Structure 1
Amino acid sequence: MSSTAETTPRRRRRQELLSSSIVVARRLLADGGLESVTMLAVSREIGIAGPGLYRYFPSRADLLRVAYRDVLDELVAHVRAAIARQPAGDRAAQVQALTNAMFAWSVAHPHELDLLLGAGLRLVEDGAPVGGEFGGGTFYEVAALAFPPVVAQWADGAVWFDEPVVPELAADLAARRDALLAVFPDAPRDVPLGLVAAVRVAWQRTFGLLCMTAYGHVTEPDGPVRRDYVTALLDDLNARNLALFGLAPSPAAVLEPVFVPGSESGPAELGSESGPGEPASGSRPAEPASGSGPADGTAAPEALPAGAHPADEAGTSAQGGTGRRARLRRELVAQALRSARRLLDEHGPDGVTMQAVAKDVGIAAPGLYRYFDGRPGLLHATHQDVVDELLASVGAARARQPADDPSAQCHAVIDALFRWCLAHRNEYDLLMSGRLRISLPGDDTPGEPRHAPLMALDRVGAVFAPIALAWWRAGCRVLPDDELLPALVPHLRAARDAMRGIPGFPPDVPLGLLHAMNLCSARLWGLLTLTVYGHMGDLDGPAGAAHLDALVLDLAADALDVFGQKLSAAVVLVRDTPAPSDPVR
């Protein structure tokens, strides 16, 4: 018998085990997220001894890499199939189909999106590379599918891109163009960098709304995500993106619905997040709600963060207590949060466990449950602490600007936001994906969540509200109601009505102002998320500082232009910021 014949059964068995391992890993990922995909769990499912799996995957990181590639291939195939269903030659329909298909897949597969987005950050502990396959190439495989139709528009003379790009972005845009031309060799070689820049802007806008939707940051006045509102936001964004390329929405487009028709819950509905009235993250002014804590509307105790128990084991209130037990309790909670923040910074959210924190503070793990409502409570308190620190950072940046210069304030806040998040990537990971990763299994009743809502994007976005109001009072341009997409109007109106109870909120604020803030929020969170998770290239290298400056400047100029404003020459940007102070007092 030949050696080939002798090894065929072994090869077949190996291939079967590899395939089964990926199927199981994908199911574990879909059901419980990245944290649930372990070598032991996969081994048990496929029926081999734990060490046996290491013969096929040398490490958990190797298993996750293969799962990552399988997930990305599925997403790309899904989007390609959606594009193929469009009428031949209908460029607008192709771009619309790409966007809707990507949204629909991501909303239905939030944990898989989580892996694609944050693999470079979350797998570094397992030896996975931060760049390379988990870097700029990840989502560009999807975004690149929009290149042929928009290039055809330019080649036909239907749209021009004559304005020069920002010099500091030219090298990166040229590299992206070269990569696209290698994938699409039939495209003209002289594609202008301005077209690539326009594709990038459209992609950042779309990706921001995608992340806010999939991670559960887009809400409606009564709590859950309203599907027709998200769909209307996406339709509006599609129209604006198509306009960049001289296109309009196609009536012949065959579009996949973002949400499954008739479903009552979805991946984005992971709990009630926001307070009443914000049409999208970043649209509500900061305000203390009646009987609530600061700005975020949560009812946090004075001395204990959200997620920590407000009373000790004897029922003695720790809030405002002055006795020895209350003081010791506050000290232990503060020490536990310092430990959680250190673990988060070093290992990411998955590294923050009750066992690790208890060991660090020197108590038995069960004892920590007397102070925090399990691991979800610990993560929730850590989440709130991170938001407070980020708000302090961007608030200080705004305070350094002239009080009568909202343009300088806007630019400075964007700059500080990017720099803090890039210096605290794991903390940003928790803020963006908190509702997906902080699970509260079977503990909540409708309208009575056990923990205060996670409102990271809403609270940070609220910093921009006074700036936008200052522009409006000064007479900035906003879209009149009759020029807004009709499907958006009732949602924006309901949001404005809910905001009228906020002290100092103008009852006559135009809907166009709220919508303009939504547009800016989409691109802001899209570019920030792609940057923090390593999808905008290496910003830590020699040219990284100039590249980051150019990205922030371009974003700030675009946000200001939405309101008819220009960059301010008086802006004060701090480059050499001191190390963050201890966030826990």
Structure 2
Amino acid sequence: MSVTTTNPAADSPVLSGRHTEARRQAVKAAREIMVASGGTRNVTIAAVAKALRFTSPALYRYFPGGRVELLRAVHHTATESLAARMVVARGRQPADDVSAQLYALTHTVFSWSVAHPGEFSLLMGPDFHEVREGGEETDRDIAAIIGGAYVPAFVTHLRQSAPASWLPPDDEVPAELRDQVVEHSRTIAPGLEVPLGLGYLWIVAWRNFFGVMCMAAFGHLSFAYGDFEDMFDDMMAQALGLFGLELSDRVVPAPEAA
């Protein structure tokens, strides 16, 4: 006969709350270290434990996977924080102006990346390798959370526009990319039937934006392009054109940028 023992205290709401709070504080401390150092190099279990006045073994109680688990928690928290900003920016725009919504969403990511190069490096830049290996869910995480913030605007656009005037037919999507585009689209918009052409335009627009975003975040060629705002606007004009849209003159900027 087998006997199963339980520890009621382990399921205590109080202990569970302490565990959640300790993880939250550790993630916050790790993000502060990243901001100060511009990357993940100085984010170690020992450094975070010291900031919290914990011992390293004590911190491992909350992050049994060690530094990688901690960085993945930072990645998820930073991604959700950025997406929340995006949703606020989208909601600030006229409900009938999809161009303004897409501009605001994208500029939020752009300006955040410039202001937070250390966290950007972890989310999508050189430090992403720290959390990528063996963690496909982390890669999907950012596609679903950041990409998902765009979905309501595109649902509106498909309803309001004449998609046949801008949406490429399936046979114009490169055959070798079709399955990949479908997988990506399912991650961004689970439960929705995303036209193959729309999914393809998403990745075309994203790969162009990603280049500008990296240049701005790391100051590459800043001697010529300054704060990259003009380059961003040029990129957005081209990206919006993919979807049959033009730059809007009704974009409502964030209060701090007004």
Name the counterpart of 1:148: 152
Name the counterpart of 1:69: 76
Contact 2:72–2:138, Cα closer than 8 Å, also in 1: no
The 5 Å alignment of 1:469-484 reads none
Residue 37 (structure 1) shift: 0.7
Quick one: distance in 2 between partners of 1:198 and 1:46?
45
Quick one: distance in 1 between partners of 2:214 and 2:33?
22
Deviations 1:313-333 (A, max 9, x none): xxxxxxxxxxxxxxxxxxxxx
Residue 14 (structure 1) shift: 3.0
Contact 2:168–2:198, Cα closer than 8 Å, also in 1: no
Quick one: distance in 1 between partners of 2:47 and 2:103?
40
Name the counterpart of 2:24: 19
Residue 80 (structure 1) shift: 1.0
C-alpha change, 1:13 and 1:150, in structure 2 (3 Å) is: closer
SS of equivalent residue, structure 2 residue 96: coil
Contact 1:120–1:134, Cα closer than 8 Å, also in 2: no
The 5 Å alignment of 1:124-523 reads 128-129=133-134, 131-160=135-164, 161-163=167-169, 164=171, 165-182=173-190, 185=192, 189=193, 191-221=194-224, 226-227=226-227, 230-256=228-254
Name the counterpart of 2:46: 40
Quick one: distance in 2 between partners of 1:247 and 1:27?
39
Name the counterpart of 1:55: 61
Quick one: distance in 1 between partners of 2:14 and 2:139?
38
Larger Rg computed on CA atoms? 1
Residue 234 (structure 1) shift: 1.0
C-alpha change, 1:203 and 1:123, in structure 2 (3 Å) is: closer
Residue 206 (structure 1) shift: 0.9
Residue 83 (structure 1) shift: 0.6
TM-score by length of structure 2 reads 0.83
The one-letter amino acid paired with 2:63 is: F
Quick one: distance in 2 between partners of 1:11 and 1:174?
39
C-alpha change, 1:8 and 1:92, in structure 2 (3 Å) is: closer
Name the counterpart of 1:392: none
Q: Which has the higher helix share?
A: 2
Deviations 1:449-471 (A, max 9, x none): xxxxxxxxxxxxxxxxxxxxxxx
Residue 18 (structure 1) shift: 2.0
C-alpha change, 1:16 and 1:173, in structure 2 (3 Å) is: closer
The one-letter amino acid paired with 2:111 is: A
Quick one: distance in 1 between partners of 2:154 and 2:55?
52
Deviations 1:386-419 (A, max 9, x none): xxxxxxxxxxxxxxxxxxxxxxxxxxxxxxxxxx
Name the counterpart of 1:326: none
TM-score by length of structure 1 reads 0.39
Residue 219 (structure 1) shift: 1.8
The one-letter amino acid paired with 1:233 is: M
Residue 147 (structure 1) shift: 3.3
Contact 1:100–1:255, Cα closer than 8 Å, also in 2: no
Contact 1:17–1:46, Cα closer than 8 Å, also in 2: no
Name the counterpart of 2:101: 94
Q: Does 1:112 align with 2:110?
A: no
The one-letter amino acid paired with 2:40 is: L
Name the counterpart of 2:88: 81
Deviations 1:451-507 (A, max 9, x none): xxxxxxxxxxxxxxxxxxxxxxxxxxxxxxxxxxxxxxxxxxxxxxxxxxxxxxxxx
Deviations 1:188-246 (A, max 9, x none): x3x4311211121111111110011101113235xxx622xx11111111111111111
The one-letter amino acid paired with 2:137 is: E
Identical residues among aligned pairs (%): 32
Contact 1:101–1:255, Cα closer than 8 Å, also in 2: no
Contact 1:143–1:203, Cα closer than 8 Å, also in 2: no
The one-letter amino acid paired with 2:253 is: L
Contact 2:144–2:188, Cα closer than 8 Å, also in 1: no
SS of equivalent residue, structure 1 residue 182: coil
Residue 181 (structure 1) shift: 4.1
Quick one: distance in 1 between partners of 2:106 and 2:154?
14
Q: Which runs of 4+ in 1 moved over 6 A?
A: none
Residue 52 (structure 1) shift: 1.3
SS of equivalent residue, structure 1 residue 88: coil
The one-letter amino acid paired with 1:226 is: G
Name the counterpart of 1:264: none
